[in-house]
Amino acid sequence: MRYVSTRGEAPALSFDDVLLTGLARDGGLYVPEHWPTFTVDEIRSLRGLSYQELAVQVMKPFVAGSLTDEELTELVGRAYATFEHAAVAPLKQLGPDQWVMELFHGPTLAFKDYALQFVGHAFEHVLKKRGSRITIVGATSGDTGSAAIEACRDRDAIDIFILHPKGRTSDVQRRQMTTVQAPNVHNIALEGTFDDCQDAVKALFADTEFRDEMALSAVNSINWARIMAQVVYYFWAGLSLGAPDRGVVFAVPTGNFGNVFAGYVARRMGLPIEKFVVGSNSNDILTRFFETGAMTMEGVVPTLSPSMDIQVSSNFERLLFDAYERDGQAVKNLMAAFRQSGTYTVAEEPMAEMLGLFEGLRLSDEETKAVIAEVRATTGELLDPHSAIAVAAARKTGLPDGVPVVALATAHPAKFPDAVEAATGHRPGLPERLADLFERAEKFDVLPNDVADLRAHIRKTLHVS
Ligand SMILES: *Cc1c(COP(=O)(O)O)cnc(C)c1O
């Protein structure tokens, strides 16, 4: 499989190059040259597979030419061996035709593990084959950092530096990162805000000499391999609920649009998905877009669901590319307008196509807490604020009878204990694997908010003079 850029100018690449490259050189995002599809019979034959077996079948067409079936099977086996639930992504029923899929049984208790655990092993495999190594650098306000660290820890061909704003992440989130003692994991507490951390990382990547010298790389949510690994659980849920002989609807709590885009890919591959309900908090750029056809940037406000507190949904560009019939020049123009004026408007035809499949719904913090309380009272299921937005969005949408709706639960309630306690009076405890998190020793370096210091620190840590 070859991959092309959404802005139409960067060279087409193979899967392993796309894995290591991340962003395309023309500023676009890589997507497969064509969508591989399954026939109805082929989808039916996927029923009854284990999560790992299904993952191999779903990802196989995307890695063709880069990984053999044996290699893919081995990487998938390693990736999901660290998950605690035998079903990997269990479905729970909340009511007639209402389901949640729990995507928080990985090592850091958030859905990002489902992609990053695979990506960590895939990176290591490809790098070893090439005899090269990389230095991953990233900034985090919480969730992504720990999932990336768990994915890269103890990999010989990778060093990972994660910056967090000193004193500005929750204790659970910081400790999930800083208590990892692996020699290739380097946590940095930067004396600044999350934006300072992001700016510092951007400055490192903009320094081409340093970037090449250190072989800098990222594992952010625009990496195609992350999307690909997420396609699997849409098939998993769909097959469990009767696909391909019955349609299904997904409600997805959305930030960067990576998760819900993976669902779109599953639909392109032939899974009968009737609709996507895109849930947002007060940072509702996507909901406003689906209401008006205009994508317009606004300031970010803090909410109970911080992993969705975003200004721009970067993966949306991949959907635009398809809606504009893969016209890279059109996407490039829209993105240029967005950069210049903070807004763009989608033409009538592509807009109609998107509205046929997506609906945006916004939830306030008050509504989110009310849903957490109500679902706990009526089903016993404890939802974190992100997952609650999905469930509430699923309930708000109007659907014909007999179509199951699956809300994606993207984080374990114990990751957001304050919000869950405020809603229910019940403080969720950490699962056993993290029960001693507050007794573990922490390891991190404190650095001033200064790019020169950061560069020197990375050089010194990696023994490069
Ligand atoms: C990252 C994250 C999201 C948003 O997912 P996107 O792929 O960015 O849309 C939602 N919930 C949780 C808990 C997350 O960590």
- Residue 240 · residue 299 · CB < 8 Å: no
Taking the centre of ligand 1 as the mean of its atom positions, its distance from the CA of residue 253, in whole angstroms, is 7
Query: Would 447 be classed as within a structural domain?
Result: no
Residue 301: inside a domain, yes or no?
Answer: yes
Ligand 1 pocket test: pick from 103, 143, 280 the residue with the most ligand atoms within 8 Å of its Cβ. 143
Query: What DSSP state is assigned to residue 221?
Result: T
Q: Indicate whether 89 pLDDT > 70.
A: yes
- Residue 23: what pLDDT? 84
CA of 382 to the centre of ligand 1 (A): 18
Q: Is the beta carbon of 318 within 6 A of some atom in ligand 1?
A: no
How far is ligand 1, taken at its centre, from the CA of residue 354, in Å? 21
Q: What is the pLDDT of residues 370-412, one digit of tens each?
A: 999 999 999 999 999 999 999 999 998 877 778 999 999 999 9
The ligand 1 atom at the shortest distance from the C-alpha of residue 256 is: 8
pLDDT at site 22: 80
Nearest residue (by CA) to ligand 1, atom 8, is 256
- Per-residue pLDDT for 219 more than 90? no
Would you say the CB of residue 307 lies under 6 angstroms from ligand 1?
Answer: yes
Above 80 in pLDDT, residue 464?
no
CA distance 103 to 384: 12
pLDDT 10s digits, 224-263? 999 999 999 999 999 999 999 999 999 999 999 999 999 9
Contacts of 380 (CB under 8 A, 6+ apart): none
Residue 340 CA to residue 338 CA, distance in Å, equals 5
Q: Is the pLDDT of residue 188 over 80?
A: yes
Instruction: With a cut of 80, say whether residue 64 has pLDDT above it.
Output: yes
Residue 181 in domain: no
Handedness of CA 30, 123, 236, 71 (dihedral sign): positive
> Is the distance from the beta carbon of residue 411 to the nearest atom of ligand 1 less than 6 Å?
yes
Give residue 265's domain range.
Answer: 91-106+225-424
Mean pLDDT value across residues 350-361: 97
Distance 145 CA to ligand 1 centre (A): 13
Asked whether 203 and 451 are in contact (CB, 8 A), the reply is: yes
Confidence of residue 35 (pLDDT cuts 50, 70, 90): very high
Answer yes or no: is 324 within a domain. yes
Task: Examine residue 438 and state whether it is found in any structural domain, yes or no.
Answer: no
Of 383, 410, 412, 420, which is best to mutate to test ligand 1, by the most ligand atoms within 8 angstroms of its C-beta? 410
Catalytic residue among 112, 332, 369, 415: 112
Distance 462 CA to ligand 1 centre (A): 32
Q: What is the pLDDT of residue 164?
A: 94
CB 143 near ligand 1, within 6 Å: yes
DSSP conformation letters of 363-429: --HHHHHHHHHHHHHHH-PPPPHHHHHHHHHHHHS---TT--EEEEE-B-GGGSHHHHHHHHS--PP
Domain assignment present for residue 6? The answer is: no
Tell me what the mean pLDDT of segment 427-450 comes to.
94
pLDDT higher than threshold 60 for residue 366: yes
Q: Which residues contact 141 (CB under 8 A, 6 or more apart)?
A: 164, 165, 168, 169, 194, 306
Which of 68-77, 292-301, 338-347, 456-465 shows the lowest mean pLDDT across its residues? Answer: 456-465
The reply to whether 339 falls in a domain is: yes
List pLDDT tens digits, range 146-167.
999 999 999 999 999 999 999 9
Mean predicted confidence (pLDDT) in 401-425: 95
**Which range (47-61, 158-172, 343-357) has the least confidence?**
158-172
Alpha carbon distances (Å) from 172 to 93, 306, 442: 29, 14, 12
User: For atom 1 of ligand 1, which residue has the closest CA?
Assistant: 307
- Residues 31-44 have a mean pLDDT of 98
- Cα(307) to centroid of ligand 1, in Å? 6
Name which of 362, 350, 277, 261 is nearest 314 in CA terms.
261
Q: How far is the CA of 39 from the centre of ligand 1 (A)?
A: 31
What does the block give as tokens for 352? Answer: 């109609």
Mean pLDDT value across residues 38-58:
98
Q: 256 CB under 6 A from ligand 1?
A: yes
Q: Is 112 a catalytic residue?
A: yes
Strand bridging mode 2-5 / 30-32? antiparallel
CATH number at residue 361: 3.40.50.1100
Is the CB–ligand 1 distance for residue 135 below 6 Å?
A: no
Which pTM value belongs to this model? 0.96
Judge if the beta carbon of residue 184 lies within 6 A of ligand 1. Answer: no
- Name the residue of 141, 264, 307, 363 whose CB sits within 8 Å of the most ligand 1 atoms, as the mutation to test its pocket: 307
Confidence of residue 206 (pLDDT cuts 50, 70, 90): confident
Given this model, what pLDDT does residue 198 score?
A: 86
Report the C-alpha gap between 343 and 272 in whole angstroms. 33
- Using the predicted structure, report yes or no on whether residue 465 has a pLDDT greater than 60: no
Q: Residue 137: which H helix or E strand, with range?
A: strand 134-139
Tell me what the mean pLDDT of segment 305-313 comes to.
89
Q: How many domains does the structure of the chain reveal?
A: 1
- Name the band, by pLDDT with cuts 50, 70 and 90, for residue 272: very high
Summary mean pLDDT of the chain: 95
Place of tokens 């199951």: 404
Residue of 465, 462, 463 whose CA lies nearest to 137: 462
- The per-residue pLDDT for 402 is 87
Do the bridges between strand 248-253 and strand 273-280 make them parallel or antiparallel, or are there none, so unpaired? parallel
Within a domain: residue 65? no
